[in-house]
Structure 1
Amino acid sequence: MSEEYDPARRILLTALAGLTLANVPLVAAASDNANVLSNNRTLVVFFTRSGNTRVIAGVIHRSLKTDLFEIEPAKPYPEDYFQTVAQAKSEHDRGTLPALKNTVPDMAGYQTVYLGFPVWGTSVPPVVQTFLSTHDLAGKLLIPFITHGGYGKGDSEDVLARLAADAKREKPLVIEGSQERRTTETVTSWLETVRS
């Protein structure tokens, strides 16, 4: 997590994300013992802290009319940015993966999974690694979209290759999180190249 914390920016992003995903039903989590909401074979899965990744997930979801699932840790990360940085660094250093609040109930029903996450400490956040370790992506098309605070994707592709070794992977969209004004246009153009 290389991006500096800006409370005003976070409020704006949270508002934008709320508009982006307002009234969008999420895939019913396995812990709810409910069924997936549609027969769609494409799922957008995302983890976000500041809201950047949620905005992109919303654009993909709306453009492709997919199902949607938000990765959340069973115990939420602290609200304080610096405490979250310290916790994520500790998890990374110890090699521990936090438990998930929910899981996708019928991962087998999806052929394509768009996976979005921010880069934390030059890598995939531990909670996203938990998701990858607990959901079988074998044979699926995995299409990553990665946000970062200016330092690039880090070792994200190596982590994805290791934890989703049996998935087919597209080249990821890698976008700097501070580029909100261009996010929708960039994601829409990228989706056109993936769908062609």
Structure 2
Amino acid sequence: MISIISAAQFYNKNLKLSTVTKEEFDHKKFINCFPVKKHDHYSIPAGAIHCGGPETVVLEISATPYIFTFKLWDWGRIGLDGKPRPIHLEHGKNNVDMRFDTDYVKKNLFAKNDVIEKGQKQLVEKTGLCDLEFINSYRYTFRNSVLIKNHDSVSMLNLVEGKKVRIYSQTNDFPPLIISYGETFIVPEYCKDVLVDNLCGSDEVMILQAFVK
């Protein structure tokens, strides 16, 4: 489950009161909850209020790690010191993008996969980052091997399906490297395209790639 709050409603008296009285915030009244399944892709641009729901594992592609995340509500959780963890209502108010209401989220931030290449042995998809982002994300699905193009950019890649793959440099810039499920690996731009072999027999594997447009 992915929860995205309507931006126009977030900074209301109920949210502010919950920080003072510690009473339960009525999240069902103000938060949209969208069901997700494995390999779904949601785009969450800067200024969008969001959180991950229970029983979800999220692979986050963060374009700007030097920018802070502000916490507006903490679901009543307590820190290691026994006190409620700090939240940042005023900072959040100054950074929230009021365009991101329910209609905008449904129209622009849900996954819209475009097929880039489709063959008998592989599928390459653009996984749908919104136009506000300066990065693209591609997903490679294959059973044998695949050539991952660098698009004239550094590439951040993660093995999101399958146990193991082996990555080869086409320019001999690094020795063959084995990558396991869930691991993230970086291919510098100067290494150009890389070849990836599936080490899982006939099982299908998937690699997610993020790069600058």
Q: Quickly name the TM-score band, shorter chain normalised.
A: under 0.3
TM-score (norm: length of structure 1): 0.26
TM-score (norm: length of structure 2): 0.25
Richer in strand (by share): 2
Richer in helix (by share): 1
Is the radius of gyration larger for structure 1 or structure 2?
A: 2
